[in-house]
A and B are shown apart, each in its own frame.
Chain A
Amino acid sequence: LAKTTQPISMDSYEGQEVNITCSHNNIATNDYITWYQQFPSQGPRFIIQGYKTKVTNEVASLFIPADRKSSTLSLPRVSLSDTAVYYCLVGVQYGGATNKLIFGTGTLLAVQP
């Protein structure tokens, strides 16, 4: 399973767009890139998953360059409630024989008014 590297923390203000970049130089051909969000005293929650190019849902966008060695989670117009830890994971093969998640350090996003 590929190792990921993310910034330990980021600060932002309400209404701004936040981009969190994750490096995964050893990503394998079959690996997907998945992001989870964790609030204090809660379990992680799925945000978005992608393989290449761009994926968008109602919560976020995920940008993946052609070489797939990095990815960027984009949160549009953050609010105070977006303050959380964001985890980037690669190597999750849903539907395969092994679906365990290996978490990296995560990025603590602090949104201020």
Chain B
Amino acid sequence: SAVISQKPSRDICQRGTSLTIQCQVDSQVTMMFWYRQQPGQSLTLIATANQGSEATYESGFVIDKFPISRPNLTFSTLTVSNMSPEDSSIYLCSVEGVGDTEAFFGQGTRLTVV
């Protein structure tokens, strides 16, 4: 299994600013994933983050808006840049446990942009 810690758990930000969300895993993992969950909606994959390479973004998401860092096998950050109220969502980090058949998720970061 894997235990994931996300920081911050929630934040209220002014439009036009940026917020960096941290994801820490208690074990080394190859791939980490970032999701967005808008109010009352399902999860949407933003990008896949591999250590030592650039993140792979899904359709509709770009690096300028959601830059991702992956400096080592236990840590990743997602930045939400130049925020607008439409970015108000829950952002979740996910990993697959080594040898497991399931994915593990952090508690999420609830972002409100005003």
Contacts and interface: CB of A to CB of B under 8 A. Distances in A.
A42 interface: yes
Given A43-B92, A100-B48, A101-B45, A94 B101 contact: yes
Interface stretch (B11-19, B65-73, B75-83, B102-110): B102-110
Interface residues of A, number: 20
Contacts of A44: 43, 103, 105
Interface in A6-64: 34, 36, 41-46, 49
Contacts of B103: 36, 44, 46, 99, 101
A106 B105 contact: no
Contacts of A41: 107-108, 110
Interface size class of B (residues with CB under 8 A): 20 to 34
Given A43-B107, A43-B108, A44-B105, A100 B45 contact: yes
21 contacts: A36-B103, A42-B105, A42-B108, A43-B4, A43-B94, A43-B104, A43-B105, A43-B107, A43-B108, A44-B103, A44-B105, A46-B104, A49-B101, A87-B42, A94-B96, A94-B102, A101-B94, A103-B35, A103-B42, A103-B44, A103-B45
